[in-house]
Structures are given as C-alpha cells and as structure tokens.
Structure 1
C-alpha cells in the first residue's frame, strides 16, 4: 500500500477538519466580540479596537499552531 492515497487521507481529512472547525470557531468568537462592541457602544462605553485586534490575532496564531502541531504529532505517532 506504499504510495497510495490511503496513506495520506488521514492527514488531509484531519487537517481539513481542523481548518473548518478553526474557521467556525474564529467566526463564533468574532461574533461574540462584535456583539459585545455593539452593546457597549449602545451604552456609550468606548470599545478599544486595538485590544480587540490583538485578541483576534492571538486566537488566529493559536489555531494555526494547533493545526501544525496536530499534523506533526499525527505523523510522529503513525511512523
């Protein structure tokens, strides 16, 4: 079974799954931050956009690192 698609399918399926879940998680977190900003703006509280962008960047970096870690850990466990 050397070189067949069956050897590589778990990598692609796992990476695809993590990417889709990561994108979904990103949009869920973004929606909650946007709702918080909307509510604060209605109350008259100033919403700090730079802090918001830093949080979103940290979440994105964490998700990318998690995907890379899972791909390499899967390779290490299987071989």
Structure 2
C-alpha cells in the first residue's frame, strides 16, 4: 500500500460514524428514560434515580464494548 489518504479514510469514516451513532443512541435512550421519569412523577409514583443511573451505565458499557468489537472484527476481516 502506498499510504495515501484512501487507505486511512475508511477507518476514519467508520470510527466517526460509530461515534455519532453511539452519541445519538445514548441521547435517544436518555430522553426516553427522562420522559418516563417525568410521567411517573406526574402520576405520583416515586422514580428511583439510582436504578436509572445503573441502567444508563450498563447501556454505556454495552455501547463501548460494541464499538470495540466492531473495530477489532473489521481489522480481523480486512487483514
């Protein structure tokens, strides 16, 4: 390989795509949890914030693990 930008671009574009989709997915999930909390508080139900934070942490760990697996799988398949 000659080391041109065409050799690096797919990795850069793929990483950028995963980062943008990961952030978008995180914000979408967070919005749904926040909306559920707002509705429950209006109904008078107590919303457990510690449980909420545990769920968000699990989702974040899952997304980071997924990104790492995709990067290693891509590298393994290409080389």
What TM-score comes out, normalization by structure 1 length? Answer: 0.94
1:63 aligns with 2:63: yes
1:2 offset after TM fit, Å?
A: 2.7
Instruction: Give the superposed CA RMSD.
Output: 0.9
1:16 aligns with 2:16: yes
Corresponding residue for residue 41 of structure 1: 41
Dislocated runs of 4+, deviation >3 Å: none
What TM-score comes out, normalization by structure 2 length? Answer: 0.94
SS at match of 2:62: helix
- By relative contact order (CA 8 Å, sep 6+), the higher-ranking structure is 1
Aligned length: 79
Q: Unaligned stretches of 5+ in structure 2? A: none
SS at match of 1:53: helix
